[in-house]
Amino acid sequence: MPSDASPATVPVLSVCGLSVDYATARGVVHALDDVSFELASGETLGIVGESGCGKSTLARAVVRLVDPSAGTIRLGEEDITHASRRQLRAARRDIQMVLQDPAASLDPRWTVGELLAEPLAIHRIGSRAERRGRVADLLRKVGLPPEAAGRRPHEFSGGQRQRIGIARALALEPKIVVLDEPVSALDVSVQAQILNLLTDLQRTLGVSFLFIGHDLSVVEYISDRVAVMYLGRIVELGDRDSLWRRPAHPYTRALLDAAPRIDGPAVPTGPGLSGDTPSPYDLPTGCRFHTRCPIATELCRHEAPATRELSPGHLVACHFPDTGAEPSSSARFGSGI
């Protein structure tokens, strides 16, 4: 994938041609198909899309909770695509995950102090006393009082539990945190607290975020770059402003139009999409979006579009991308992923 970062910088995460298939009773699901992207140090890449687009599978695949069927995952220079359990344990110092429901990922019998010290103990970091100090430090970082260490997760509100989840993910000072819908279960006032916390942590720690979400205003707010997914593929990837100002893929455009926002137009600006997302068991031929696309042609029904670069860093997989006012910009594509 082309990169606008200086050639000397190795991305903290490089995903290339990643595919994940699930074998189920109803057949094989191609949950993720040929997905490529890079994550730079200190940046937030947002991943958006609707149910079944593969965004959560992608989150699980990059931390190797599910096994890829093709492609590679690199942490820095290290290829972890087929890393053994032991190699993975070391790799997980660098890549951690935060889930939507903090309660589900925190053992209710443990105190918060024990939960935060556990990753340190597993990696044999520090003495007992040093770990206690580190726990206090983590609590302070996420805005919880030191007394929180002696209490159990259920004694906290949803927002506070998400702070605990974030503290645990940060315990090993990872380079990357994968956040899978981290604020989707929270009320808007609490959501604001967590989004501010994530922004502050990134600024002070320089950690990179892979932020999976379905709420477009949240993803827009938190992300430097955004990848839009549809039925297992990235259909568009670019820096946030280009994507929001000039979405090139008709699906991106439809998503942005469909999501009402308090500072947006009072009426939808586009016609909206008709129909449902096709079943992942029975994927459409050609471009997977053609069954709902307002501008699909015969070509789209038969041939899957290759990913091309519209402008530096702005990738789109569509035969007829909206290239905006300058028709010449479409002539610049070429390298693809």
Partner 1 sequence: MSDPIPADPVLAVDGLSIAFQTRRGLLPAVRDLSFSVGRGEMLAIVGESGCGKSLTALALLGLVPTPGRVTGGAVRLEGRNLLALDEAALRHVRGARISMIFQEPMTALNPVLTVGEQIMEAILEHEPVSRKAARERTLALLERVRIPDPARRFAEYPHRMSGGMRQRVMIAMALAGAPAVLVADEPTTALDVTIQAQILSLIDELRREQGTAVVFITHDLGVVSRYVDRVLVMYAGRKVEERDTRDLFADPFHPYTQGLIAAQPRGLIAAQPRGLAARSQADARLPGVARERLTEIPGTVPALAAMPPGCAFAPRCPLADDLCARTVPPPRPAGSGLVACHHAGESHAI
Per CB under 8 A, residues contacting partner 1 are 4-6, 40, 42-44, 50-51, 157, 159, 187-193, 195-196, 199, 202-203, 206, 214, 216-218, 220-222, 224-225, 239-242, 244-245, 254-255, 257-264, 266-268, 272-274, 276-277, 312-313
Measured CA to CA in angstroms, residue 194 lies from 11, 64, 102, 160, 190 at distances of 26, 26, 13, 9, 6
State the minimum distance, in angstroms, from the CB of residue 195 to partner 1: 6
Q: Which one, 54 or 68, has the nearer CB to partner 1?
A: 54
Nearest CB to partner 1, comparing residues 48 and 234? 48
DSSP structure string for 217-249: HHHHHH-SEEEEEETTEEEEEEEHHHHHHS--S
3-state SS assignment for residue 18 = strand
Could you tell me the CA-to-CA distances from 241 to 78, 219, 261 in Å, in that order? 31, 12, 17
Whichever of 139 and 255 has its CB closer to partner 1, that residue is: 255
Our CB check for partner 1 shows the closer of 52 and 305 to be: 52
Task: Considering the complex, state which of residue 120 and residue 318 has its C-beta at the smaller distance from partner 1.
Answer: 318
Place of tokens 């820095």: 76
Q: State in angstroms the smallest separation of the CB of 55 from partner 1.
A: 12
To partner 1, the closest distance from the beta carbon of 269 in angstroms equals 11
Smallest separation (angstroms) from partner 1 to the CB of 125: 25
Beta bridge partners of 226: 46, 238
Shortest separation between residue 312's beta carbon and partner 1, angstroms = 6
> For the residues of 258-306, what is the DSSP string, one character each?
HS--TTS-SS-SS----SPPPPTTSPPSSSTTTTT-TT--HHHHH-PPP
